[in-house]
Amino acid sequence: MIRPDAELLLDITDLHASVEDQPILKGVNLQVRSGEIHAVMGRNGSGKSTLSKVLAGHPAYRVTSGTVLYRGVNLFELEAEERARLGVFLGFQYPVEIPGVSNLEFLRVATNARRLKRNLEELDTFDFEDHVQERLKVVQMDPAFLERSVNEGFSGGEKKRNEILQMALLEPVVAILDETDSGLDIDALRIVAGGVNQLANADNATLLITHYQRLLDEITPDYVHVMASGRILRTGGRELALELEQTGYDWVDKELAAQGVA
Amino acid sequence: MAVSTSEHVLAPVQQRGQVALSRLGLPTRKDEAWRLTNLSRLEAVARMPISNVATASDAPPRMDGVVRLVLDGVNDPLEGVTLPEGLTPLEPKELELALGHSLDRCGWSDDWLIEFNHASAHQLLALRVRGTVPPLELVVAAASGLIATRVLLVVEEKAQLELLQVFSGRGEAAHSHLLEVHLGQEAQMNHGVLACADGLASLFAQLAVEQEPRSAYSLTSVVQGWSLGRIEPRVVQVDGQASTTLKGLAVADVEQQLAVHTSMCFEGPDGELDQLQKCLAAGRSHTIFNGAINVPRKAQRTNAAQLSRNLLLSDRARVDTKPELEIVADDVRCAHGATVSQLQEDELFYLRSRGIGASDAAVLLLRGACQEVVDLLPTHATAWRPLERVLEGLAS
């Protein structure tokens, strides 16, 4: 939902970032307002995942120049945990397995860290169980997964549902979903996408990072961006995703060559 | 068992032990088994006077249905205790025959720690286990000087035993403990060792386990906070066809040195071993794991897996880990692996990206790393709050 007067949540200006001294992002510009759903598409290695990790504060990625304002605050002055408490959420492409750490306990600690920041009461074990049972419905997840270690032995689809469950519990302001559709069969994709749709509202924004149009059949984006060589090369509406589906990315090479980048 | 019987049986053992000790002399670094050991601490224990006062136990209330026996170095552990059906003290004649049998079967001879126990042990508990008995708890606390104890368990054919041994130590004190277990055919034993100390006391625990065919032995050891700690489970499947599970956790901090030396010997075909040893080293501590597995020609179709997982929690901590597989039989499956890592950056970032602060995330990960083993202790161990004890030791 595009409203020009909506709050500017994320303001990315000329962002450059490196991993192991290898420049990956080379001047990303993007503005995200509340109520909007953005899709970022592009080939492998175009910088999509790096963008998501930089925004979430992964320590392996170094910002070399540029700014990101999150609700007017310099995001890079905040530690990863502080960004999360303030409402920045990263749905992982490969959710991490943590043996020995109970999923339920993990979800409770995370939820309370965010609630504390929102001046909401912390939930004790019993209240949290009620709360989480209700949120499980968003992704039609089996409560048995709460008793297991975080993501351990979960199938690809279960891990992604667990990510969206975390999103449902943390109620982020900006959710960045990094290839949430990868490794999902069509039924799981519908459930995960259904969860994202239920959680999107006029006060938050979603950044979908994806390779494929099929996720965008389930979640309708307001904007589609095509990334290449560490920048956003083109921005359009949902029709841009459909065009990509038909023409592929060959035009990207031509455009980059024309710009002398490739 | 009356103390007098103990004394009667132990007196010749002590004499032999003293002779052996003077012959062996203190271990040196040239000896492979002691190469990494802090020998000045070992020497301090060797010189420690034998405790002659009963140590007040810091044990939590006993759980219902659990038989608790306290070895305090002075008083008869069975005094005032009514043993449940199926648990009986060994008769003196049986005792003379059985004492040292499992030790021999495990090939334990000319070993300094064994002879040290022989020379020092002044308390012996010897029990026969028949049928299914209630969970048993053996508690040994050390608070001043050396407390040297010896336990012998004869678990009869088809008997089932759940045993938790709890060692604690405070201040300038040390344990020398020697356990012998004979598991009859089809017997089952779930054995937990929970040994936590304050960083000053030392622990030597030698466990000799002899398994008859179709028996199942499962050991979970949780060792934390000893100035010098050395736990040595040795298991022999006398005719193969038995199942052995060894799960261990050693947590060291400050300048502590914790060593786990395990030895598994298959003396017949179709034996199984499932082994995991985890070591966490913080501060300037040092953990050592040595895991020997012996599969001679007669042990065909042995199926063994050993995994050593180590977590270095500081730049100054040290981890040594050494699998030692000797496989002669050709039709066997023997998997082994060792990893040494720091807290995984990806795991930390995942937790932090959910709003969990860096130090809380580290605690959560450590708790997880310990819980995997701690959860395998016999269920009545929960009364001792094992996980909290281990983590408190790390936090100090």
**Domain-by-domain residue ranges, chain B?**
3-395
Q: A144 at the B interface (CB within 8 A)?
A: no
Structural domains of chain A sorted by starting position, each given as residue range(s) with its CATH number in brackets: 8-258 (3.40.50.300)
**Residue that the structure tokens 């083109």 belong to:** A234
A118/B contact by beta carbon, under 8 A: no
- Residue in B355, B371, B372 closest to A113 by CB: B355
Q: Angle of helix A103-117 relative to helix A125-136, nearest 10 degrees?
A: 100
pLDDT-derived band at B2, boundaries 50, 70, 90: very low
Distance CA B247, CA B217 (A): 11
Q: Is the pLDDT of residue B3 over 70?
A: no
Encode pLDDT of A80-90 as tens digits.
999 999 999 99
pLDDT, tens digit, for every residue of B294-330? 999 999 999 999 999 999 998 899 999 999 999 999 9
* Residue A64: predicted pLDDT: 97
Distance from CA of A112 to the nearest CA of B (A): 9
B355 and A170 in contact by Cβ < 8 A? yes
- For B251-280, b/e burial (b = at least 16 CB within 10 A) is bbbeebbbbbbbbbbbbbbbbbbebbbbbb
Contacts of A48 (CB under 8 A, 6+ apart): A40, A41, A42, A178, A179, A209, A227
Closest chain B residue to A97, measured at CA = B347
Chain A from 165 to 184: CB within 8 A of any B CB: 166, 170
Give the CA distances from residue B1 to residues B9, B136, B140, in Å, rounded to whole numbers and listed in that order: 11, 16, 17
Q: Which residues fall within 8 angstroms of residue B256, CB to CB, at 6 or more apart?
A: B199, B225, B226, B227, B228, B229, B283, B285, B286
Residues of A in contact with B349 (CB under 8 A): 58-59, 80, 96
- What angle do helix axes A103-117 and A156-170 make, rounded to 10 degrees? 30
Average pLDDT over residues B188-211: 97
Q: CA B341 to CA B281: how far, in whole Å? A: 11
Determine whether B336 is exposed, middle or buried from the number of CB atoms within 10 Å of its CB (0-12, 13-18, 19+).
middle
Ramachandran sector of residue A104 (left: φ over 0; alpha: ψ -120 to 50; beta: rest)? alpha
Q: Taking CB atoms and an 8 Å cutoff, what residues of chain A touch B311?
A: none
- B353, B364, B367, best to mutate vs chain A, most A CBs in 10 Å: B353
> For residue range B174-197, what is the model confidence (pLDDT) as tens digits?
999 999 999 999 999 999 999 999
Residue type, B188: Q
Contact B367 A100 (CB under 8 A): yes
Q: Share the mean pLDDT of chain A.
A: 93
Mutate to test the interface with B, among A79, A86, A96 (most CBs of B within 10 A): A96
Say yes or no for a CB contact (<8 Å) between A113 and B369.
Answer: no
Distance from CA of A137 to the nearest CA of B (A): 21
- Assess A84–B contact: CB distance below 8 Å, yes or no: yes
Check A84 against B360: CB less than 8 A apart.
no
The whole-number average pLDDT for the span A235-252 is 89
Q: Which residues of B touch A117 (CB under 8 A)?
A: 355
Beta bridge partners of B265: B236, B294
Residue whose structure tokens are 């995330």: B361
Is residue B41 within 8 Å of B202, Cβ to Cβ? yes
Interface of B with A in 329-348 (CB under 8 A): 344-347
Q: Does B357 touch chain A (CB under 8 A)?
A: yes
A219 touches chain B (CB under 8 A): no
Angstroms from A4 CA to nearest CA on chain B: 30
Say whether A72 sits in a helix, a strand or coil. Answer: coil
The Cβ of residue B104 has, within 10 Å, a number of other Cβ atoms equal to 13
Strand partners, A225: A40, A235
pLDDT tier, B358 (very low <50, low <70, confident <90, very high otherwise): confident
Nearest to B350 among A85, A92, A105 (CB): A92
Nearest to A99 among B353, B356, B368 (CB): B368
Residues on chain A touching B360 (C-beta within 8 angstroms):
109
The answer on pLDDT for B5 being more than 80 is no
Q: What is the mean pLDDT of residues B100-124?
A: 93
CA distance B40 to chain A (A): 37
Q: Residue B345: closest CA among chain A residues belongs to which residue?
A: A59
The pLDDT score that the predictor gives to residue A246 is: 87
Question: What are the pLDDT digits (tens) for B245-272?
Answer: 999 999 999 999 999 999 999 999 999 9
pLDDT of residue B190: 98
Residue A117 at interface with chain B, using a CB cutoff of 8 Å: yes
Q: How confident is the model at residue A103 (pLDDT cuts 50, 70, 90)?
A: very high
Q: What is the mean pLDDT of chain B?
A: 93
pLDDT tens for each residue of A139-198: 999 999 999 999 999 999 999 999 999 999 999 999 999 999 888 889 889 999 999 999
From B347's Cα to the closest Cα of chain A, the distance in A is 6
This model of the complex carries an ipTM of 0.94
Say if CB B170 and CB B63 are below 8 A apart.
Answer: no
Instruction: Check residue B8 and give its pLDDT.
Output: 79
H helices within A90-249, ranges in order?
103-117, 125-136, 156-170, 186-199, 213-218, 238-247
pLDDT of residue B395: 64
> How confident is the model at residue B1, as a pLDDT?
42
First to last CA, chain A: 35
Q: In Å, what is the CA distance from A135 to each residue of A64, A165, A166? A: 39, 7, 9
Q: Report CB contact under 8 Å: A96, B347.
A: yes
CB proximity B129 to A under 8 Å: no
Q: Which of A109, A116, A147 to mutate to test the interface with B (most CBs of B within 10 A)?
A: A109
Quote the minimal CA–CA distance from B342 to chain A in Å: 14
Question: Which residues on chain A are in Cβ contact (under 8 Å) with B343?
Answer: none
pLDDT above 70 covers a percentage of chain B that reads: 98
Percent of chain A with pLDDT over 90: 80
* Best residue of B347, B351, B360, B374 to probe chain A, by most A CBs closer than 10 Å: B351
Q: Does B349 touch chain A (CB under 8 A)?
A: yes
At residue A93 the predicted structure's pLDDT band, cuts being 50, 70 and 90, is: very high
Among A29-38, B51-60, B92-101, B267-276, the minimum mean pLDDT is found in B51-60
Is B67 touching A (CB cutoff 8 A)?
Answer: no
Q: Residue A166's closest chain B neighbor by CA?
A: B354
Please check whether residue B352 touches A, CB under 8 A.
yes
Interface size, chain A vs chain B, as Cβ–Cβ contacts under 8 Å:
79
User: Is B351 within 8 Å of A98 when comparing Cβ atoms?
Assistant: yes
